Every structure is written in structure tokens, then in C-alpha cells.
Amino acid sequence: MEAERLIAAGRHALAESRTALDIVAEAWQAQALAQAIGSHLALCGPQEVRSEARGLSEIGGGRGVAEHPVLRTGGPRAALLTEVTNERVALTALGALLGEVGIALVGVACATDEEGLYWQCIEAIDAADESNDRVRGMLRRLAIRERDRPPDAARGRAGPAAPR
């Protein structure tokens, strides 16, 4: 499935989450998707973003986000990722999802009296924040690439036709 569709599904699922545990699960779903997009771009993306993409794919530590306990019930949605059609659009949407995840997690962390849930939220907030930093870095690199590209190449044209 294309990255933008998976991101949209994640944003919808997060918006529909009604319990604290659902929000935490969606946060880790988003993190797994960020890692999958990072892995994809590290292999197939523009050269300018591959280093940041590799870093994005590694966020979450040795355990791996795909094995996070809250994802075991249905597995990570990110496993459905097959392509990233437009890097800039996908990364912009991913950044928005990660921002929404952070806001939702802060709400859960502030509302809970359960210490374990609080620390799960803090861990997920840190991962989302670090991922969003990588996403913004890749977007900056793509913007520089577009800015430095000749105007006609940026539009995908060879230039104006020669006069007859």
C-alpha cells in the first residue's frame, strides 16, 4: 500500500481512538510506519535523504517497534507499505501524523495516574519527536534539492520549444 494511504489510515485511527491504550497503540503504529518509510527511503529514496532516512528507520532502539507489546494484537500497519510515490508529500503527511501523535500522548500522560502508562507515553513521545526531527531534516534536504535544480528540470520539462 502507498505511504500516503497508510498515513491517512493512521491519522483516522488516531482520531477514532477513545481509550488511553488505543492512543498509545496508535502512537506505536505511527512509529512503525515512520520506521518503514525511513527504511524504504534509505534504499530507494533520493540520495540527499538516504542518511536521514536510515536514521529514521533505526529510531526506537534494539527491541524494534514492530515487536512492541501494544502492536501484537494486530501487528503493525506499516507491514503493508509497498511504495512511497511522492517523498515530499508523504514526509509532510508523516510529520503531521507524528505531531498529532505527540499531542495525543501528552494528553494521555497528563490524565493518567498509572505510572506504567505515563512512562509508556513519555517513551512514545520521545520516539515521535525524534522521528519528526528526521522527517523535517529530509524535507529540508528535498527543498534544497528542488531549489538548486534548474527551473525547467524542477517542472519535469526540457524547456521551451525552439522557435520555428
pLDDT at position 62: 42
List for the chain the helix, strand, coil content (%; round to 5): 75, 0, 25
What domains sit in the chain, N to C, each tagged with a CATH number?
3-150 (1.20.1260)
**pLDDT one-digit tens code per residue, 132-150:** 999 999 999 999 988 887 7
In this prediction, residue 46 has a pLDDT band, given cuts at 50, 70 and 90, of: very high
DSSP state of 59: T
* DSSP alpha helix (H) spans, 45-114: 50-58, 87-111
User: DSSP readout, 64-78?
Assistant: -GGG-GGGTTT--GG
Give me the mean pLDDT over the 61-86 stretch. Answer: 71
In this prediction, residue 99 has a pLDDT band, given cuts at 50, 70 and 90, of: very high
Q: What proportion of the chain, given as a percentage, has pLDDT over 70?
A: 83
